């Protein structure tokens, strides 16, 4: 299993200004000093965590999806981040995973009721694992992090991605749950959050991190603005799983 280079993009987001946010993020990406296999952006990176679902929603294949695919093709890498997309009877908080070969997606299953997200967006139904450069990658969005059964490793993924707009008031939960998901699933975890404040006055501390399967923190951006690149070791992941195979004693379960 080869190594995977992952770049975390942590920045402020202009409220409901997709073009401005694409330009800002594009500038950060243009300044990267080394090639990367995967670039991870925050949740709702074009608008911030807005409940103006219909006003912000793009159609499938819209401007942002095309932008991601063009970047993936030009940089020969994958990019992941969520936006609001109107499709199939409503609006979804949709995590797009773009590669030079095309764009796949995961629709956020657990909608954050404390902000009314469940009243403005439709929940996704399917758990999604994508394959990229020899790695199996589970796609997750923000509030999904609190539900370990949904993200339980069925020996079907190597890396879990969490993209988020996670407020600083609950940063302890974010940081500890990311580490817990890595340890309990014998998988690498990458969580990317935003910084700054949004139009509702919520503050975001960032704390974007990359974590090895044994819970070791490989990268911690704290409140930094910009990009951080980390190498996930395929050999280290395989060796750890072989030396500590607790998955062999895991309980069976089914999702309703």
Q: Could you report the per-residue pLDDT of 62-80, keeping only the tens digit for each?
A: 999 999 999 999 999 999 9
Mean pLDDT of the chain, nearest integer: 97
Residues 195, 223: Cα–Cα separation, whole Å: 7
Maximum separation of any 2 CA atoms in the chain, in Å: 51
Which residue among the candidates 65, 77, 117, 142 is catalytic per the annotation? 142
pTM above 0.75, yes or no: yes
Cite the DSSP H helix spans in 83-217.
117-120, 171-185
Active site residue 142: yes
Q: What tokens were used for 92? A: 């979804």
Active site residue 117: no
CB contact at 8 A, 77 and 98 = no
User: DSSP secondary-structure letter at 146?
Assistant: G
Residue 169 belongs to what H/E stretch?
none
pLDDT tens per residue across span 141-150: 999 999 999 9
List all residues 6 or more positions away from 143 whose beta carbon is below 8 Å from its beta carbon: 108, 110, 111, 112, 117
Active site residue 70: no
- Burial code (b: 16+ CB inside 10 Å, e: under 16) for 185-196 equals bbbbbbbbbbbb
**Domains delineated in the chain:** 4-248 (3.60.110.10)
Residue 256 has pLDDT above 80, yes or no: no
The interaxial angle of helices 18-30 and 63-75, nearest 10 deg, is 10
Which residue among the candidates 65, 77, 108, 117 is catalytic per the annotation? 108
Which residue among the candidates 43, 58, 65, 117 is catalytic per the annotation? 43
Q: 77 by DSSP, 3-state: which?
A: coil
């Amino acid at each position: 299993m080869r190594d995977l280079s992952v770049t975390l993009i942590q920045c402020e987001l202009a409220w409901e200004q997709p073009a401005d946010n694409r330009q800002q993020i594009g500038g950060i990406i243009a300044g990267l000093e080394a090639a990367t296999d995967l670039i991870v952006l925050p949740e709702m990176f074009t608008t911030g965590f807005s409940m103006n679902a219909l006003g912000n929603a793009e159609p499938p294949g819209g401007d942002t999806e095309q932008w991601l695919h063009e970047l993936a093709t030009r940089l020969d890498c994958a990019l992941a981040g969520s936006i609001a997309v109107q499709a199939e009877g409503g609006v979804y908080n949709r995590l797009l995973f773009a590669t030079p070969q095309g764009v796949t997606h995961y629709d956020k299953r657990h909608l954050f009721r404390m902000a009314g997200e469940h009243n403005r967006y439709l929940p996704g139904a399917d758990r999604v694992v994508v394959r990229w450069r020899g790695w199996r990658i589970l796609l997750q969005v923000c509030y999904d992090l609190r539900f370990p059964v949904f993200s339980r490793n069925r020996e079907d993924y190597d890396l879990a991605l969490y993209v988020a707009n996670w407020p600083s008031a609950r940063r302890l939960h974010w940081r500890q749950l990311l580490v817990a998901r890595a340890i309990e699933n014998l998988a690498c975890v990458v969580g990317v959050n935003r910084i700054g404040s949004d139009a509702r006055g919520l503050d975001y501390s960032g704390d974007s991190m990359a974590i090895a399967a044994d819970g070791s923190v490989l990268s911690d951006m704290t409140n930094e603005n910009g990009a951080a690149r980390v190498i996930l070791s395929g050999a280290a992941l395989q060796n750890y799983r072989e030396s500590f195979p607790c998955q062999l004693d895991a309980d069976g379960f089914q999702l309703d």
